[in-house]
Amino acid sequence: MIEEPRSEEQSVEVPDVLLDQFVEFHRPDVRLDELAVFDTLPAGHKGAFREWIESLAFTIIFVLIFTSYVAQATQVPTESMKATILVGDHFFLDKVTFPANYPTVIRPYLPHRSVKRLDIIAFKSPTDGNIPFVKRVIGLPGDTLEVRSKAVYVNGNKLDEPYKIHVDSTTYSPDPWTP
């Protein structure tokens, strides 16, 4: 239906509700009172459930990438580092500085360094890959290690170990139930 252009003197009554939502058109043949008003969501709007699912999926993916390649929270399972690190202590493993899990193509671009003597490192147990071992590095490739009278010697030199604590087993009863 094509109408003749209206003169300036003609007026059309339009409800206020449409004027608030009116977008100027560049088509003179469309009358304001012919526009339909629909109560719909704006284009591109997602429902609350979909937004929740997308947020959850993003969070899971982020955590998986973060714990695989950046840092991983872990807990000390044994007393082998007692006095320095206690059983149950929580800490983060740095996976960027020691990029063993990264593809070899990416490794040259990462800020990495070699393992040094006295570093505390974590690695998977050889018997159970789910248990992390937390140990102090005292020997490096090519070193000769000796233990004499509770002292560690690296390449013939006594290692200064201010962190170590020796417990004399003779002060304890061999049977823990003996009074």
* Active-site annotation, residues: 80, 135
Report the distance separating Cα 96 and Cα 93, nearest Å.
Answer: 9
Q: What are phi and psi of 71, to 5 degrees?
A: -155, 155
- Look at residues 113, 133, 136 and name the one whose alpha carbon lies nearest to residue 125: 133
